[in-house]
Structure 1
Amino acid sequence: MKVIRSKEFTATRAWGALDIANMHGTTVRLHWTDQPYKWHVNDGEEVFAVLDGVVEMHYRELGIEHVAVLSAGDVFFAGIGCEHVAHPLGEARVLVIEREGSV
């Protein structure tokens, strides 16, 4: 049993993570960041839920870049092959659920 107070979590570096669970190869991690990530495509599907802060999620469809502004409570689903990058506006805490070892 775990209780995690996401607003209390910080990391020593951008995108530092607290491992919450590994469920048969699917990881659940809480990330803290104040810096953009990098453009990437995951090794499977990804669920990205903003718990605190605001994140601009940039993603490409058919070579065209789009931006979705995500606030606390918003969820972004990256399907297989979805190229994306998260840009927090200030500090953000994000719950990420994805295949273990994914980028």
Structure 2
Amino acid sequence: MEIIRSKAFTASRAWGAKDIANMDGITTRLHWTDQPYKWHINDGEEVFVVLDGIVEMLYKQDGQERSVTLHSGDIFYASVGTEHVAHPNGEARILVIEKEGSV
């Protein structure tokens, strides 16, 4: 049993994470960042929940680059093969649920 105060979580580097759970190969991790990630495609599906802050999520759909602004409480679901990159606006805390070892 553990209680995690996500708004108090920080890391020593951008996209640093706290491992919360691994359920049959599906990981749940809390990330802190103040820097963009990199364009990538996960090995499977990904659920990306903004817990604190604002994140611009860029993604490619039908060959077109698109963008959506995510606020605290918003969820981005990346289906298999969705190329995407997260750009926080300042500090952000994000809960990511994905296949273990995914990029």
Q: Number of matched residues?
A: 103
Q: Which residue of 2 aligns with 1:88?
A: 88
Mapped to 1, the partners of 2:33 and 2:102 lie a distance apart of 18
Deviation digits for residues 45-96 of structure 1 (CA, Å, limit 9, x no counterpart): 0000000000000000111011010000000000000000000000000000
TM-score, with length taken from structure 1: 0.99
Mapped to 1, the partners of 2:3 and 2:75 lie a distance apart of 21
Q: Please tell me whether residue 62 in structure 1 is matched to residue 72 in structure 2.
A: no
Gaps of 5+ in 2: none
Q: Which residue of 2 aligns with 1:32?
A: 32
* SS of equivalent to 2:7: helix
Q: Which residue of 2 aligns with 1:76?
A: 76
Gaps of 5+ in 1: none
TM-score, with length taken from structure 2: 0.99
Q: Which runs of 4+ in 1 moved over 6 A?
A: none
